[in-house]
Structure 1
């Protein structure tokens, strides 16, 4: 199984815990401020990014959807609002994030439609050919084994089903790239330390983005995992990218 540079990027370099364990602990510790920091640090544009990703499924009209690395269930809730599938399952390795997501789902009265479970992409606890669509927003960078995660997401998709990945990427425009690097290296970690009391989490965000195999390279990895009809769409001058492929 091929390993990629970002697979080894961890929040705490001196920890004896695995990447998966460290990521779970990290998100547990920042869960209480996660939604606020997402909106604040992106000036709210992350909501638009998620909607653009979900819109890639509009023609498919999926009825069974799996949201991997669902976090506080933002994408799961938006998927219901936009596509109205019969059932949405969200999985995540952070129980702290899931608890917040469950509260949001209950507040909207959607407990019978959206269900959240502890779980990760490499060991999805569902049979093959279960879901019409799989989504994962800002989660694949956190996989301990990217290829294994992609292969298991493909396994649980029905034939003809679609994977939609939303992930940070690095802008190529010179001037904007310089501002982006300052923002990710200095500003985001500083706000993470001030608001969520966890600078390491937002330093890890930058480190993992820098190491992630983005663009055409990621599409190649998707194809190696068995996906067909792969394509990408860059958003906001390349800060973010949508990747799609079919089983």
Structure 2
């Protein structure tokens, strides 16, 4: 299994005593909504490198949820709207909030509800969820609203009472990105491995050769070389660099 989102997986290929593993996207931080990443010993490992720079050392997600809940207590008259993707990130945020002791109803943009119902049908407990799309404006005052990143600064968000705009993304580690998106409360929560987790994972596989894709290959390849591991960039045709800050990107 690969610890990215529910249903994600790694591909293991074996031929004449050699094993290659293609990881896809993965994270090493605990996630109550999916199985943890499993390190598979191999000769060749294909890894992502979304946050493949030493600057990306991301905080504990529980700390970021604590920031959000502190702000909710500090401004009880305002509504906190959190941008997050429908698959994986939304359900993870809900689980983190519940684990932190927040058991009030959560308000969800209509685009997020179907995937949450799917998670619940598979045994993931998310607590009381309500539709923010059909709610009266006053009902959501003081509450937490989850919505797609594209909606938090859209006309849809204007119906929320005095919203505090938040965005849950590893890219919120970069202050300029948060400022450019008009994010008042950035939450650095990612579904990708950060720099230290990438190095730890590559080392743990025991692979002598590692192909790096989807991200900042050069820095990671240089670091692998210092670990006596041969690295090379694997560039996929038509595979653009994904950015969670954009509505077209996949979750980071």
TM tier relative to shorter chain: 0.3 to 0.5
Name which structure has the greater RCO, CA cutoff 8 Å, separation 6+.
2
Which is greater in Rg?
Answer: 2
TM-score by length of 1: 0.39
Q: Write 1 or 2 for the structure with the bigger share of helix.
A: 1
